[in-house]
Amino acid sequence: MQQLFSTTPYKLNQLLEKIDIGSLGLPELQRPFVWKDSKVRDLFDSMMKGYPIGFLMLWDCPHFDKKKSIGVETHSYPTPQEVIIDGQQRLTCLYAVIKGKKVYNDKYAEKEIIISYNPLENKFEVGCSATHNDKVWIYNISIAFATPQYYFITDYINSLKNYRDTKGLVLSEEEKLIISTNITALYNLTQYDMPVFNIKSDADEESVSDIFVRVNSGGTPLKQNDFILTLVSLYWQDGRKLIEKFSHESTMPTKNTTSYNLITEVSPQDIIRVVIAYGFDRARLKYGYKLLRGADLDKKGAIDITLRNRRFDTFKLKLADVLNLHTWHEFLKSIMNAGYLGKEMIISNMALFYAYAFYLIAKHRFNASYNENMLITSKWFYYISLISLYSSSAESTMESHLTAIKDFTSFDEYKKFIECRIDERFTQDYFNVTLLGSEGLGVSGKGNSAWCAYCAALNILGYHVLFSKSNLLVSKLYEPGVDGNRKSLEKHHLFPKGYLKSLGYGDSQINQIANYAYIDWKDNMEILDESPSAYYPIVCLGKTQQEILTMEEENALPHGWENMPYETFLIERRKLMSAIIKKGYERL
């Protein structure tokens, strides 16, 4: 048995020194520093009381040659010998407070953690106006750690004594002893014992992730993108900030142009995935990590610093393309052009961001024009979403595509590749047989890829909401609503649930996709649980026969559906829904 770890007891000041000299890297591996200041206060309180605060996990990692983290600017070590993979938040706050360094929050804005200490009561608090104005409190303990202990204690006692004198009060000798004892204990926190697991350098990232999960009793596993982000944090921290900023802004509407959109919320993993695919023709993130680490895959993974530097240069260039806001919103328009207008329609983020990688390849490698790139991307996304291309073995599938187009030299070759794959799948049999069954419309549930494609087709074709009294387009239902209590976009059971239950149908039969339609919710409230033959003539009052036929055509309703047996209705409606999905693609 080869043991992949060792245990080493460290004093806190030894770990802080290792950060200062650069032998211990402190990147934001799992997340930016997001602890609340109250949690930092509680950490110091636990240490002062002699409680355990958990172990740290370090990974011997001798292959990096540059580092930037929250430590000092110059280091004795040009490359970190270890990187922290568990306990980063604890060590970050301890370093920041004791060394008086600022940290970054989840928006990558700098912030100072101010912890106050009352030596008479041996009590910590988050710095505030009360602790700032009360002379008993040491407002910011960072100042204490930056001052020699003897001088700080002497100055504190003299300052408090003078303040008491102005109030006609006395600072007793007993209080002076308590103050001296407790401030000494505060300084001694730097000698606090920190248990450390050291994982050896010959453990690969898969083993490190497995160890992390097992030690943390099933905690969130470390992913390949975590290791890639570690490399970015160590080698190019500004790049990590750019990735986090783009991701964060995708969730927040602002007056300025940002990555915000109504289609998706971006995660750092999504961006990493796009950069590795677009920049390195790789879909498997484990290869992306090895490439950025400098592994020479032709020499059994031997680390080559020259290769590493060259690949990081490529990473920087390609990341700039990925994060270009103009390009990003161009791409999103191609998704909307395919009828996918909202987050609820995006079943697979993997499909969306692999489509973005393809968009970037077409734009920058094959010099596709905006219009031709939008068209081919719209068709491709419609196709991969409908057939759930990336629902399984996504990385393998995408890697085979990247390999296939790697040597193309023109947009025509790329376009032919895309269209050939679509044509191979979108046959008459697919729309007449496959799509009607369990791989498509013949299932129950709130929605699947076939349902989303059907809705996308309604948007593409400009079809109207069922039973709408104002000729409302389905696409309008995807716009942000003004009703704070309920979305205007609501599915309706054409054969109502209560009615079907009265006939003995179970939930899986009632909730068939073919029994759903989008209508305005106020109309839905009026329909309630009557049979279609009872409510349909009522909601159609005022419409001409031609208007009814058009409404039925646009919503895949077979004429006379309200009087059909339920099973017959499902069969016939699936056929019409499939026809609309096909028509939507043909319109593209």
pTM of the shown model: 0.76
Residue pLDDT, tens place only, 171-193? 999 999 999 999 999 999 999 99
Number of domains making up the chain: 3
All residues at 6 or more sequence positions from 507 whose CB lies less than 8 Å from its CB, including other chains:
444
Residue 174 maps to a domain: no
Mean pLDDT taken over the chain? 87
Residue 132 maps to a domain: no
Domain end residue (candidates: 403, 425, 447): 425
Residue 204: the pLDDT is 67
pLDDT at 433 over 70: yes
Residue 461: the pLDDT is 97
Asked if residue 387 and residue 309 are part of one domain, the reply reads yes
Q: Considering the chain, what percentage of its residues have pLDDT values greater than 70?
A: 87
Place of tokens 């608090």: 125
DSSP string of 269-338?
HHHHHHHHHHHHS---HHHHHHHHHTEEGGGTTEE-HHHHHHHHHHHHHHHHHHT-HHHHHHHHHHHHHT
Asked if residue 374 and residue 228 are part of one domain, the reply reads yes
Residue pLDDT, tens place only, 145-155? 999 999 999 99
Asked if residue 536 and residue 443 are part of one domain, the reply reads yes
Asked if residue 86 and residue 202 are part of one domain, the reply reads yes
Asked if residue 454 and residue 410 are part of one domain, the reply reads no
Domain end residue (candidates: 397, 425, 453): 425
CA-to-CA dists, residue 430 to 355, 421, 425, 441, angstroms:
23, 13, 7, 12
In 3D, which of 376, 341, 370 has the Cα closest to residue 355? 376
Asked if residue 393 and residue 464 are part of one domain, the reply reads no
Cβ atoms of 196 and 204 within 8 Å: the answer is no
Residue 176 maps to a domain: no
pLDDT at 209 over 70: no
Domain end residue (candidates: 176, 198, 215): 215
Q: Which two tokens stand for residue 139?
A: 């407002």
pLDDT band, residue 447 (cuts 50/70/90): confident
Residue 119 maps to a domain: no
Residue 84 maps to a domain: yes
Residue 247 maps to a domain: yes
Residue pLDDT, tens place only, 485-515? 334 556 789 999 999 999 999 999 999 999 9
pLDDT at 297 over 80: no
Residue 489: the pLDDT is 55
Asked if residue 449 and residue 392 are part of one domain, the reply reads no
CB atoms within 10 A of CB 77: 15
Residue 482: the pLDDT is 41
Could you tell me how many residues make up the chain?
Answer: 588
pLDDT band, residue 520 (cuts 50/70/90): low
pLDDT at 437 over 70: yes
Residue 145 maps to a domain: no
pLDDT at 538 over 90: no
Asked if residue 458 and residue 365 are part of one domain, the reply reads no
Residue 40 maps to a domain: yes
Residue pLDDT, tens place only, 368-410? 999 999 999 999 999 999 999 998 889 999 999 999 999 999 9
Asked if residue 97 and residue 195 are part of one domain, the reply reads yes
pLDDT at 32 over 70: no
Asked if residue 230 and residue 377 are part of one domain, the reply reads yes
Structural domain including 558 reads 435-587
pLDDT at 220 over 80: no
CA distance 134 to 228: 47
Greater confidence, 419 or 233? Answer: 419
Asked if residue 97 and residue 52 are part of one domain, the reply reads yes
pLDDT at 134 over 70: yes
Asked if residue 441 and residue 578 are part of one domain, the reply reads yes
* 3-class state of residue 195 by DSSP: strand
pLDDT at 540 over 50: yes
